[in-house]
Amino acid sequence: MVRMTLVKKNPGIVSILLLTFFLFHSFDVWADELRVAVASNFLLPVKELSRKFEETTTNRVALISASTGKLYAQIKQGAPFDILLAADSLRPKLLEKEGIGVPGSRFTYAVGRLALWSADNTLFLRNDLQVLNQKNFRYLAIANPKTAPYGKAAEQVLRKKGFWDQLQTRLVRGENISQTFQFLVTGNADIGFIALSQLKRNQGQLKGYSWVVPAEWHNPIRQQAILLKRAKTNKAAKEFLNFIKSNRVQKIIESYGYSLEHL
């Protein structure tokens, strides 16, 4: 009886309660999904891969993308992710050591390649870094070396070839490799170090000139995957990792502009 009175007197409150219930209910449904946290440089490939994965199973994949550093901090604070596809090997190693990642589940799913790109064809004279000696560009964009593995690799290249100090005033740092790319595409920076995979996936739309930096000029950008503790017994998560590891999928990853460690 009391409930009836509530409904009659406060239809508004009741509908809000019902709405809340349905909202939370749908959140519960999402919780059954496989949650994959992915470094921003790998978001596009993994979108295609998870579509392919979903074709073979009833499991749904939800992708959460941010920089590796941010994802790591979120996972440490209890973020409900099942798998991390990082842009480096450092954070997965740390997670394994800290007991947040499942020991032995860590593997390199892709090796990142660095490319120098400019929308301005006239900047490049030769296939090397000599372009950086020119005075006719204002900004060189890199990802922030402190937070982004591709930025760290770019710093290593610039240091190794003696450009780091002389270019300090012309360096702009993107928060991650996607923002670095965005600086270049919008023309705000003239030239920059980005991931080769970003160029590959935008082939055809991009004008300009690019050059792939020799792999031995920087430490390898080993992008590692790790299964997270909360998904230790999650069958779908293990299936997804095996799927990524499979030769077929590794070939696809290679076609996106990554090198492979195992094949």
Partner 1 sequence: MDISSSGPIWLTLQLASVTVMILLAIGTPIAWWLAHTRSKMRVGIEAVVALPLVLPPTVLGFYLLILLGPNGWIGGPLKTLTGSPLSFTFTGLVFASTLYSLPFVVQPLQSNFESIGSTPMETAASLGASRWDAFFSVILPLSRRGYLTATVLGFAHTLGEFGVVLMVGGNIPGKTKVISIEIYDRVEVLEYTQAHILSAGLLLFSFIILLTVYSINKKLPVHIS
Q: Which of 147, 174, 180, 152 is nearest to 164 (CA)?
A: 152
Q: Which of 211, 225, 241 is nearest to 113 (CA)?
A: 211
Q: Exactly one of 172, 206, 215, 252 binds partner 1 (CB under 8 A); which one?
A: 172
| Residues 200-219 as x/- pattern, contact with partner 1 by CB under 8 A | --------------------
- Bridge-based pairing of strands 83-85 and 34-39 is parallel
Q: CA-CA distance, 107 to 72, in Å (whole number)?
A: 16
Q: Toward partner 1, which CB reaches closer, 179 or 197?
A: 179
Q: CA-CA distance, 115 to 257, in Å (whole number)?
A: 10
Q: How many CB atoms lie within 10 A of CB 143?
A: 33
Q: Exactly one of 44, 174, 181, 226 binds partner 1 (CB under 8 A); which one?
A: 174
Q: Toward partner 1, which CB reaches closer, 61 or 194?
A: 194
88 touches partner 1 (CB under 8 A): no
146 touches partner 1 (CB under 8 A): yes
Q: Toward partner 1, which CB reaches closer, 169 or 247?
A: 169
Residue 23 CB contacts under 8 Å (≥ 6 apart), including other chains: none
Q: Toward partner 1, which CB reaches closer, 45 or 69?
A: 69
Q: CA-CA distance, 181 to 179, in Å (whole number)?
A: 5
Q: Exactly one of 188, 219, 242, 246 binds partner 1 (CB under 8 A); which one?
A: 188
| Residues 34-73 as x/- pattern, contact with partner 1 by CB under 8 A | ---------------------------------x-xx-xx
